[in-house]
Structure 1
Amino acid sequence: MFKLFKYLALVFVILLVAMLGLLIVSIESEPQFRASSSQQVNHAESVKALMQQLRTSVIHREVQQNISITENQLNSLVGFAQRARKSLQGQVHITPKSSKILVSYTLPPNPIGRFINIEILMLPGAGIQFDYVKVGPFLIPGQYLLKSVITLANWYTRSDIATQFVEQVEHVTMHSQTMVLTMRPLEQFLKDLNDVKQGLGGSGDEALRLSTAYYLKNLAELDVGKKPRPQSLAKFMGPLFRWARYRSTYETAAQENKAAIMALAIFAGHHRFANLVGDVQPEDGKVALPWVKPMLQYRSDLNQHFVFSAAIKILSEQGLSIAIGEFKELMDRSQDGSGFSFVDLAADVAGVEFARVATDPNSAWFVQQKLADNYSESVFFPIIKGLPEGLRKAEFTKQFGEVDSPEYTKMVMEINHRVSVLSIHNHEVN
């Protein structure tokens, strides 16, 4: 038995060294391309058409659907990813014969190299077909890698959902700068996906679920939530953080604040945030929510921006939260949108920064002291006067050029300043 253990340990070490060696050889000194995220997201409004197609495919899930995806749409989404993760760059090229996906990932400074370059060639035809995946100098057969990813995803979810997902694509047609996915009816796949999601949900953070349920129950019992007219979000925040302060020590304040924010997102944002936490509703079959959605600066849309961004920050990273808000505003520049709004962007940034400081162990307790029984929006929400909004693409381009231009950067810096001077970010307790 001891000899067998030594043999298996030796094999494991050899495999580990071999994989490490392949990774080192794959690292290169230069990226295979350079992409400007500010130029890529300049076509963000085109993604609205793609989102509408996806919504339609879900609504009409019992029939076959054709999903048309343009090169601009894909590169806009890649630009969004790049703005969320600065170390990532990507680019997509679609031709009638194939589609090429290029990715470069920037590594931290090291003596070996800075970039991992990946090239994927996708072919038209029946189902999803990858000709090859190239990582650095190594060429991997595309279908072999696809099967490996499917097997791993199925193993992780303890299901065949990854296999089903790939099989949903019946045919791929490619044209110049456009590809069309012919999708099988989604009804059964969506049912199975929901079952998998429910199964994975049981392995989440039980302490977070229980605390979120506690705060959600208390929010549902507040008299202010039963008023027929919209109320300030501050009238919910004051009691919420009083309860959090009561339940916290200095060491546990960050975790309690995390649960409080998730309860607020479920209650005052959208009840589907509960799907990411677990069974937290106080009554079976009934959603806890106020009679009317709260407001910030007398606007319900700003409440949504603030609360959604705070929740997304809790569930992800700060860069992703801000990038989502920015990308949404860029999509709104289309003629059927509400226009780019720096006011909305300010609400997004304020929500992200609120969640960040509230869940930082070094400041969480101070945040509770600031917010507990405080009913003033000015503690956590910035002044919005003078911030441009309702900008269509032509007007946005005229005033600010593109994202990351000096004029755009100046406006973002102004928003960041307005958020940074809020009382919630001053950790001295009065």
Structure 2
Amino acid sequence: MHSFWRRVRYLLLCLLALCLLCIPLALAWAAYQAIDDQALLTAAPNVSPARVASAQRLIARNDPRKQPAGVLRSVQLGEDELNLALVYLASRYPHTRAQISLQEGAVQVRSSSFLPPNPFGNYLNVQAVLRETAGLPEVEQLLLGRLVVPPRLANPLLRWGLTRLQTHQNMEGAAAALDSIQHVGMRNGVLRVVFTWDDTLPAQLQAALVPSAEQDRLQAYQARLVTLAAAPGPRSLPLSKLLQDLLAYAAERSGTGNSADENRAALVALAFYVNGKGLGAVLPSARHWPVPAPRQITLGGRGDTAQHFSISAALAAAAGTPLADAVGLYKELDDAEGGSGFSFNDLAADRAGTRLGALLLTSAGQQRLQKRLDAGLRDTDLLPKVQDLPELLQAAEFQRRFGGVDGAGYKKMANDIEQRIAALALYR
């Protein structure tokens, strides 16, 4: 009898050892199947001024704040508009490409993400088909690389993820947005989302989209701006002076941490201050922070130039260079339609600000800037001489003289601007 139970225990131990061995092997096999050497999507996102303008019109047309709270609302989005929204989202992750295709009663989502070094491959490619239901869509097909994930497994995982989202303490806004959605339908090349509008939803979403660590960083730089703006001196301050102090403070705060995150927060806080907007416009908690005293911030002696430069630097640091260029250019085209007119001077400030924002995200760029900070940062380090560039061009004159943004005249001027910026030591 004792011999029998010894054999049973031995058999159980062998089975346990086999299970422990099979689990990592199964996980390794799944990773091998899911990760590819080549990207499914390789084309860079197309973010043109026309597409940015289309997105702005779309937002204005579907602004739910114009409707009473508690009523059912619907938003209809075409395939191009959905893909533009994906560009905005993916711009936060420069190594990710995504694409949406609408089908009758379904939507196909494809994405490619470049992965850190690993023994399996370079890219995680995802292909999914979501099928319309009475409520939220469900997964009909899911492919991770070459790994097929059956719907009976994918949908419980999706529901589990949504439940986790709704119960996570830092994602109340996302949970509220999810709860407000009543139905998602796909018909005739249009995705239609039916939801119940709640006036508190924007604030909840904004808070959810900005991680608490990022909010703490922004608050630290706003507090620094409060101190700088309260210092005695002339009402007008050069942008380079503020930038010098904030970036030195960023280097001090980063220590052995992520200096790119600190630089990004510094640029965002600075941009909202220079442009006369409080961070409360995008971050509800910031409405209760101390506010810096208003000062006139200039670049090359001009306030509008400082505004263009700072907002483009923040956009580049936060969203990537192509998006910052497109938004900056759209702003100028909008001016030409009835504002101050198209200004190559402002466009130069947009492009230079974009260069600075992108520079601060790389270790080599940070080292180059640190040398300039040690020597003392000046306005002329940030922006070349641009006083001779044409400005105040109304739409008709801009079209006649430069052929619009696709014209040879415009391209020649834009190339000249890029050469002037590239000649500055900071951007070489």
Q: TM above 0.5, one fold?
A: yes
Q: Does 1:67 align with 2:75?
A: yes
SS in structure 2 at match of 1:128: coil
Q: Does 1:368 align with 2:373?
A: yes
Q: Give ranges in structure 1 of 5+ residues lacking alignment.
A: 1-6, 226-230, 402-406
Q: Which amino acid aligns with 2:423?
A: V
Q: 1:237 aligns with which of 220, 226, 240?
A: 240
Deviations 1:135-167 (A, max 9, x none): 223134353343233244345535554433222
Aligned to 2:162: 150
Q: 1:288 aligns with which of 292, 296, 303?
A: 292
SS in structure 1 at match of 2:367: coil
- 1:24-423 paired onto structure 2 within 5 Å: 24-28=32-36, 31-32=39-40, 35=43, 37-38=45-46, 43-53=51-61, 56-60=63-67, 62=69, 63-79=71-87, 87-106=95-114, 113-132=121-140, 133-137=142-146, 138-141=148-151, 143-154=155-166, 156-158=168-170, 160-190=172-202, 192-193=204-205, 201=212, 203=213, 209-210=219-220, 212-225=222-235, 231=236, 234=238, 236-238=239-241, 241=244, 261=267, 264-269=270-275, 271-273=277-279, 287-290=291-294, 294-296=297-299, 300-313=303-316, 316=318, 320-329=319-328, 331=330, 344-355=346-357, 362-371=367-376, 374=378, 377-384=379-386, 385-386=388-389, 395-396=403-404, 398-399=406-407, 414-422=416-424
Per-residue deviation at 1:298?
6.2
1:310, 1:351 within 8 Å by CA — same for their partners in 2? yes
Aligned CA distance change for structure 1 residues 331 and 182 (closer, same or farther; 3 Å): farther
Q: Give ranges in structure 2 of 5+ residues lacking alignment.
A: 1-14
2:72, 2:197 within 8 Å by CA — same for their partners in 1? yes
2:176, 2:204 within 8 Å by CA — same for their partners in 1? no
Q: Which amino acid aligns with 1:116?
A: L
Aligned to 2:10: none
Aligned equivalents of 1:43, 1:259: Cα separation in 2: 27
Aligned to 1:404: none
Q: Which amino acid aligns with 2:324?
A: G
Aligned CA distance change for structure 1 residues 115 and 223 (closer, same or farther; 3 Å): same
Per-residue deviation at 1:184?
0.7
Aligned equivalents of 1:356, 1:30: Cα separation in 2: 26
Deviations 1:73-94 (A, max 9, x none): 1223445667776643333222
Question: What TM-score, normalized to structure 1?
Answer: 0.69
Number of residues of Structure 1 aligned to a counterpart in Structure 2: 393
**Quick one: percent identity of the two aligned structures?**
20
Aligned CA distance change for structure 1 residues 276 and 97 (closer, same or farther; 3 Å): closer
SS in structure 2 at match of 1:224: coil
Aligned CA distance change for structure 1 residues 87 and 242 (closer, same or farther; 3 Å): closer
Task: Tell me how large the CA RMSD over aligned residues is.
Answer: 4.9
